[in-house]
Every structure is written in C-alpha cells, then in structure tokens.
Structure 1
Amino acid sequence: MEREFDRQTERVELLSMLTSSSGHRRTQLIEEYQRRSEAAFAPATLRNYKLTLRLFEKWCHETGRNPEPPVPSDTIAAWVDDMGGKIAFNTIGTRLWGIAELHRSRFLPSPTRHRLVALSLKGVKRKYGAMQKQAPPLGKKEVLKAIGSLGSSRRDLRDKALLWIATDTWCRASEIVAFRVKDLIRQDDDSSLLYVARSKTDQYGYGAYAFLSAKGTRDVLAWIAEAQLEATDPIITKSQKGGQHRPLDSVTVSRILKRCTGRKDVSAHSTRVGGVHDAFRLGCDLSSIMIAGRWASPEMPARYGKRILASQSAAAKVSQAFDVETAQDNGEEA
C-alpha cells in the first residue's frame, strides 16, 4: 500500500510541476519524451502508434469531435463503441494504448482509464465477444509436400530454405527474415540451431534458440552456397542472381507460403499454429511446446491448440472408451 501511495504522490507532484512550468519548459519536456520514446519503442510499436493517431483523428473529424489532448473520456468511450464489431477486441486495446501514450507524451492524465471507457469495453466484449481470429494451421505434412514439389532453380532453393525454417523453428515472419548466416549453429547430428536475436516478446535482445532439422539444415546450406551469402548476410533474401543481399519484407514470407502451398488462406503465422497442432496430436506436453515456440506463458499455445485439445479431452477419451466397450458387448470390431 505504501509503494502505491508513493507512486501516486509522484504522479501528482509531476503534474503539479508541469502545470506551474513555463510554456517553453513544457515544450522541452514533451520534445524530450518524444525523442526518448522513439529510442525506447520497437519500430512496429511506433508504426502502430502513428496509425492509431491517424485513425482517431479521422474518426474525430468525421464525427465532429476534437482529437487534440486532453480528449474527454466520453469521446473515447464513443470511439470504442464505434470500433466494436469492426475490429478484433485485442486491436481495440492496442488503439486505446495509443491514446493513453498520446496523453503520457503530453504529461496529461489518460482518459482511457475512466470508468466510462471501461464500461464501453465491457459492453463491446459482451456484445461481440473477445475471440481472436487465428491464422489457419499449416502443418508439417503439408509443408513437406510443398518442399517436395519444388525444383532446383535459385528461387526454389530459396523457397525450400524458407519453408524449412518456417516449419521447423515455428518462428514469426519478423524472426525468419532477421536470421543471418552467422545465426546458424551446426550440431553433431547434422541438425542446427538458429539464434533468435530479437523477437516480438524479446525487445531487449536476451536471445533464444530455435531448432532446424538435419534435412532443413541441408537445404538451408544449399541455398547459402548457391546465393554465396556471407556471415552477416540475411539467409532469406531475394533469389535474383547478382542482387543485393537484403532481408525480405515480412509480408513477402506470407506470399511465398501461399504460392508454394497453393493455399490463399495461410499466412506466415500458419506454420507456427500448425506446429502446435502437430505437437498436440503427437502428445507433446505444453511445457515442451512453450519451449519450442519460445512462449513465456501457456496462454497462446493453448489457444492455438483449442480444437486439438478438445479432441484429446477427458470427454473425448470417455466417449472413445465407451465406443470400444459397446462394440465388444455387441461382438463388433472396435
């Protein structure tokens, strides 16, 4: 309780100090906050923040409201109501973070913490639900079939390397395109590890490792040799001969997966979801799945495996057991 009181006191003192500061000093602090936030936040976070501000300003102009902070809490509540059913509930939360950050950057109290906004969020969640749209799974069997259909052209060699990395490592697109040749660490059994320097959940670069099978290693090395990549070059780069060795855009990973598999519904995240589905089917425990996908909590892999887990639940096992028992009683084959 004492620590909480001290933090609140510090906030009040800061706001009091800013209120009494000259306009020039306040402007200096706001500029310094902007400079420091650009260094502290990941590029994707900054892009989402700027997108949120553009969308909020557009909505305010369309509805005759003022987007300049401090924004009234009822305006934010009305914006939440308007977003309900149009975008995912989690995305609404991200947009509200952007509005809160806008106010923090001006050293103003955030309207997103007001009870009106909380009630609006509850109303949207109750009416439209909070289910997140999940990428369709792309399991290893289907990926291996796609790899087997590829030839020996430069593009095919590059695509094989990408498909192996995607299906073996369960990495996100941003991680796949960030791998450099020096991140490939060979092991005695001909498999490899890929060093994940940074990720969505590791912005400070503590690092992690992802597994690459022996066959995957073979095809990745074949592509590295064909493209004559150096240690600091990205592994997944353009396939054109003589081109600069630059990493592909994350969106391109999804395009390649669609082209190679012939499925228009998959994305770069599909091999991550598919890997979890395969693991649950094989009876892998949740802790080993978390390690493979580098998850800090069981929430996401459990969410990915909802359908598979339902088929392996106690209810499913009881039904299967009684099906066998009934078949035996009737003299039928189970």
Structure 2
Amino acid sequence: MSDAQLVIRPSRDVARTRPEPVYTDTDFALGDEARELIAEGVADETRRAYARHWRDFEDWCAHTGRVPLPATPHTFTEYVTDMCARGLAPVSIEQAMAAIRTCHRTAGYKGQPDREGAALALRGYRQRRAKSGRRNQRQAPVLTIEQVRAMAGVCPDDPAGWRDRLVLDLGVALMGRRSELIALFQDDVRVVDGELEVLIRHSKTDQDAHGETVYIPPGEHPLTDPVGAWRQWTAFLAEHGHTGGRLLRRFYRNHRVGPSLGGDAVNDIIRGLAVRAGIDGAEDVTAHSLRATGASWAYAERAPMSAITEHGRWKPGSSVVLRYIRAVDKRRNNPMRGAGL
C-alpha cells in the first residue's frame, strides 16, 4: 500500500455538511494538574522573576491609571522610561520587558505590546549611562588559577569548608550554573576510572530534561581537585547517615546537615571565599565567575570552542562563549605585547 493510500480524507460531501463546532467554556478550561505542569515547565528562577516583574508593572499601571493587559505601546514605553528614571540596570529592564511581553503572549496577545519605542528608549538610556561613565553590563570576573587556589586555601578543614571547596572546584571544572549545582543529587555524581561522572538532569539548554553526562578529570593540585573534594564531602555525609538526597547541603554549627543549598547561598559562598582570600574586586565575584573561569582556562589551554560549548552546556555558537574566547585572545594575541613600550 502506498503512502498516498494511507492518507484518509473526508469526502467533499462530508466536508460541506460538517457543522461548525460549538465551543463551551469547558473547551477553554485547564485543570489544576495541567496548570501545575505548565508552571513547572518554566525554570523556577525565571518564573519567580517574571511574576515579580509583572506584579510591578500592574502596580505601576494602577498608580498611573493605565491598562496593563493588553498594554498599548505607549504604556510599555512609558514604563520602560520610568524604570530608566529609577536607575535600574539595563539588564534588569530587559528582563522586565521580556516578562511583560511573555505575559501578553500567554494571555493570547501575541506580539503585543509593540517594543520599538521601548527598545529605543532603553538604547538612549544605555548611551546616557555610558557618557556619564557608568557601565551598562557587569561581567562576572574570570579568576586565575592562583586565585582559585587561594580561595580553596581559605576553606577551613571542617565539614563546611569541605562543602565550600567542592562548590568551588566542581563549579569551575563543571563550568556549572548555580541551578545545576544545587540540583545535583548524590547519585548524580560518581567516580569512574578516577574521573567524576556527573549527570546534569536538567539545564537551561535542556528544558525537556533529557539529561547530559559530563566527565571531569582529577585536578593537578590538591586544592583544585574536584575528585578529592567530592570524596571528602561525601564521606562526611555517609558518616552522618546521608547516603541519598541532594549533594550540596546546608550545614549547621552543631554538625547537623540541613536541606539543599539555594542559589543565593552558592553566590554567598563563592563571594565569601574571594573576600577572605583577598581577591581584587572580590565583591564582583559571583557563582557565574566559576563558569566563566572554567571556559576561559579551557580555551587558554587550546581546547576547541565546540568542546567547551558541549562541556559547559551552552548552545552551539553561543555568544557568551565567544566573549570568553575573545577575552583570552585579546590577551594572548595583544598586538602591543613586545612592542617595546
């Protein structure tokens, strides 16, 4: 039987006589389970951020006597202008714009509100900030190997210090996002042939949670050895009866192991280590510095961009990875190096 014969089409008479569908409210209703699954399909941090931005927009509209949904392009532009006047960072304004347009799209207003005027207002704000000597985008600083070892060196020789060193070493070697690190279960990490085999169950570039396995070799120095750090922390967990559950846990002074670390806690740990190690610009160091550092080190050691992108779970051709690579190339191939200055 040919493919054409497999296609079943209604006869013309049936098509002509088919009644128009009569919809009821039931056809447009979603149950609680469907709503919950849809909500879970959006990353937790994104969902919380978008909800906050939408509440702020609704409050501003109520205060100014404007309609939030559907908002006119004029309302959208005025709100962006108000955020500029309040001195918000351009990246925060961009996220608010995306949140408002996403809420419109999910409510059935695709393509609304038009963003042309708002985008131009934001461009003008960026230019004004640049002329006044302010930075429009702060990047998490890339750390040197000496700085990372200094940070590992200030970790105390106790359970909290063992955990913090694992966060540091694993974050660099995994090129890990905060969300990926705190989501790890103990069973997601194991040693195979002397290397760590890490299962990333879900990531920003794996929204359907197919999962990806990443391999991490042992470090050349004990302070920056993720395999050794993992062994030390998991041995402590096992001794206290924690052989399952999340890998990175809170730890209390009475040697009680608590629930999973949160994203803010990871940031606090990394920034705290940078401060105690006396790193220049320590206040700007964040958990994202670990991701940037891992990618930059790998490229400096001649790893191809495709391997870095795959290892760090970036999209192919990621502009973020290109930015790290260009920074390394600018230093390595600086035309003024050796120019006799």
The 1-side partners of 2:31 and 2:188 are apart by: 40
The alpha-carbon deviation at position 171 of structure 1 amounts to 0.3
Q: Is the 8 A contact 2:172 2:291 kept in 1?
A: yes
Q: RMSD in angstroms over aligned alpha carbons?
A: 3.2
Aligned partner of 1:120 in structure 2 is: 118
What are the superposed Cα offsets for residues 225-276 of structure 1, whole Å, 9 maximum, x if unpaired?
Answer: 1122645321211223563552111111111112222233211111111222
Aligned counterparts, 1:100-111, within 5 A = 100-111=101-112
Distance of aligned partners of 1:29 and 1:106 in 2 relative to their CA distance in 1, 3 Å threshold: farther
Aligned partner of 1:330 in structure 2 is: none
Aligned partner of 2:11 in structure 1 is: none
Aligned counterparts, 1:162-241, within 5 A = 162-188=167-193, 190-214=194-218, 215-228=225-238, 230-240=242-252
The 1-side partners of 2:226 and 2:106 are apart by: 47
The alpha-carbon deviation at position 156 of structure 1 amounts to 1.5
* TM-score normalised by structure 2 residue count: 0.75
Tell me how many residue pairs correspond in the alignment. Answer: 298
Q: Which amino acid aligns with 1:175?
A: E
Q: Secondary structure at the match of 2:198?
A: strand
- Higher mean C-alpha deviation, range 304-313 or range 155-164: 304-313
Aligned partner of 1:95 in structure 2 is: 96
Q: Which amino acid aligns with 1:238?
A: R
The alpha-carbon deviation at position 182 of structure 1 amounts to 0.9
Q: Secondary structure at the match of 1:198?
A: coil
What are the superposed Cα offsets for residues 271-299 of structure 1, whole Å, 9 maximum, x if unpaired?
Answer: 11122232333333322221231211331
Of Structure 1 and Structure 2, the greater helix share is in 1
1:254 aligns with 2:255: no
What are the superposed Cα offsets for residues 76-98 of structure 1, whole Å, 9 maximum, x if unpaired?
Answer: 12222333473444443432332
Q: Give structure 2 stretches of 5+ with no counterpart.
A: 1-19, 128-134, 219-224, 276-281
Aligned partner of 2:61 in structure 1 is: 60
The 1-side partners of 2:154 and 2:40 are apart by: 45
What are the superposed Cα offsets for residues 109-148 of structure 1, whole Å, 9 maximum, x if unpaired?
Answer: 5422x3xx31330342255159532112233331222223
Q: Which amino acid aligns with 1:203?
A: Q
The 2-side partners of 1:81 and 1:32 are apart by: 39
The 2-side partners of 1:222 and 1:29 are apart by: 48
Q: Is the 8 A contact 2:190 2:198 kept in 1?
A: yes
* TM-score normalised by structure 1 residue count: 0.76
